[in-house]
Amino acid sequence: DHENILFGPKPFYPIADGTAGEQMYDALKEYAKIAGCIALTDGHTKENVLYEDIFKVTCRLANSLRNYGLNTNSTIAICSENNLQFFLPVISALYIGITVTSVNDKYTERELLHNFDITKPSVIFCSVQTFKRILKVKTKLKYIKTIVIINHNNGFQGYHGLNSFISNYCDSDFDIKKFRPNSFDRSNQIAFVMYSSGTTGLAKGVMISHKNLVLRFSICKDPTFGNQINPTTPILTVIPFQHSFGMFTTLGYLTCGFRIIIMHTFEEKLFLQLLQDYKVESTLLVPTLMSLFAKSSLIENYDFSHLKEIASGGAPLSKEISEIVRKRFTLDFVRQGYGLTETTSAILITPDTDVRAGSTGKVVPLHAAKVVDISNGRILGPNQPGELYFKGDMIMKGYCNNVEATSAIIDKDGWLRSGDIAYYDEDGDFYIIDRL
């Protein structure tokens, strides 16, 4: 019975063909042609990376990974704080179809061992900051073949930096005009394994396919649920890249050709200075930072005339905080998104302009949601709280090597149980109430 099942609208653009790696390759190749087009800016050092730099390095690194012997059956890990190099191994792996697992750069050795035990990566791309811990972990895990330090050119302690790895493994006669990403079945090929405790405490590996990611790429370009595609639009993000929220928003921004100003650590004054100086049009926050800005005394000292939207996600945002921040930044609306690691990215998003204070938004295109009465399993109508369920092509493939945990959260019809209590109003706007 379709009664009380809410469906998202048709996508603005039809879903493009190809793997997420082919779509990323096509986008970067396009933006690389715009001379001087900046992709990333380090908000702390002001250093820039151009789209043409990213395009060149990712093609050479992909060729190097192929020559190193990695393929669609391989997994690499990324363990790094937000920096300008983070997405280079990630994008190169997407071109080839190598699965990427991203681990929290603040994790202890024990937590890293647990995560790596699930995914068994053969190469770890780490930063100078995480190298010591990663080296200790490597000595305990025989399946880790090598480490590459992404924000160090020549590497150290016998391990390659990004440039030395490329010069060591890339074809000596490499011709970027001849480089092409691999083609493979995007529905089955796992692009990422992200970690989530789901509805129980133990961390599990969430398998995100290339198809899941292609749907995110489509939604982020949707004028209603994402952003307009205007290359060079300045965006400021402080969201950790190693989590789904930061990973799949930032990859989406790169497919749009935006200029992404990044921070690895939040500092209020620097954040506000960056908003002003780079004429930022959209910025992504988490509720704790929204609360900080609701109480901040610094906002009046800056000019935010270019700022069109503040977007929040990663946890529920209270109506009060949202309204205070909206007024303090003199914005027409603050947008929200709700997602789970198990749904790749946001599956409920406040549509551009029609924002209901306190609502986390409407169902995104090509997805469905229902609210279920936990006492009898009946599907509920508007304004009746129950457990949120979702269906659609951003729902994860499943938990890595864990069939029982997968079938405990995704039923035979493909409905994913969120573990969150919510209701929707007559217009299909959703309100999150509580965690089950």
Our measurement of the distance from residue 386's CA atom to the centroid of its chain's CA atoms, rounded to an integer in Å, reads 28
| Cα Rg of the chain (Å, integer) | 21
Q: Is 48 helix (H, G, I), strand (E, B) or coil?
A: strand
Nearer to ligand 7BV, 27 or 396 (CB): 396
Residue of the chain from 121, 161, 240, 314 that contacts ligand 7BV (CB under 6 A):
314
Binding flag, residue 349, ligand 7BV (CB under 6 A): yes
Binding flag, residue 249, ligand 7BV (CB under 6 A): yes
Nearer to ligand 7BV, 161 or 316 (CB): 316
Which range of residues in 89-97, 260-268, 306-314, 405-413 is near ligand 7BV by CB under 6 A?
Answer: 306-314
Place of tokens 């990422």: 192
Residue of the chain from 345, 359, 406, 418 that contacts ligand 7BV (CB under 6 A):
345
Alpha-helical runs (H) found in 154-237: 162-169, 210-221
Q: Could you say which DSSP state residue 154 is in?
A: S
Binding flag, residue 242, ligand 7BV (CB under 6 A): no
Binding flag, residue 399, ligand 7BV (CB under 6 A): no
- Amino acid in position 436: L
Which range of residues in 101-109, 130-138, 319-327, 337-345 is near ligand 7BV by CB under 6 A?
Answer: 337-345
Which tokens go with 97?
Answer: 């179809």
Number of residues that bind ligand 7BV (CB under 6 A): 15
Q: Which residue of the chain is nearest ligand 7BV when measured via CB?
A: 337
Q: How far apart are CA 77 and CA 125, in angstroms?
A: 6
Q: How far apart are CA 108 and CA 119, in angstroms?
A: 17
Q: How far apart are CA 124 and CA 401, in angstroms?
A: 21
E-strand spans in 119-274?
123-126, 146-149, 160-161, 190-196, 204-209, 234-237, 259-262
Binding flag, residue 335, ligand 7BV (CB under 6 A): yes
Q: How far apart are CA 132 and CA 114, in angstroms?
A: 18
Q: Could you say which DSSP state residue 380 is in?
A: P
Binding flag, residue 337, ligand 7BV (CB under 6 A): yes
Residue 393: CB minimum distance to ligand 7BV, A:
15
Residue 302: CB minimum distance to ligand 7BV, A:
22
Residue 139: CB minimum distance to ligand 7BV, A:
32
Query: Hey, which residues between 80 and 119 contact ligand 7BV (CB under 6 A)?
Result: none
E strand or H helix that includes residue 292: helix 287-295
Residue 345: CB minimum distance to ligand 7BV, A:
4
Q: How far apart are CA 191 and CA 90, in angstroms?
A: 9
The answer to whether 292 and 319 have CB atoms below 8 angstroms apart is: no
Residue 52: CB minimum distance to ligand 7BV, A:
27
Binding flag, residue 236, ligand 7BV (CB under 6 A): no
Residue 190: CB minimum distance to ligand 7BV, A:
17
Binding flag, residue 341, ligand 7BV (CB under 6 A): yes
The residues binding ligand 7BV (CB under 6 A) are 244-245, 249, 311, 313-314, 335-337, 339-341, 345-346, 349
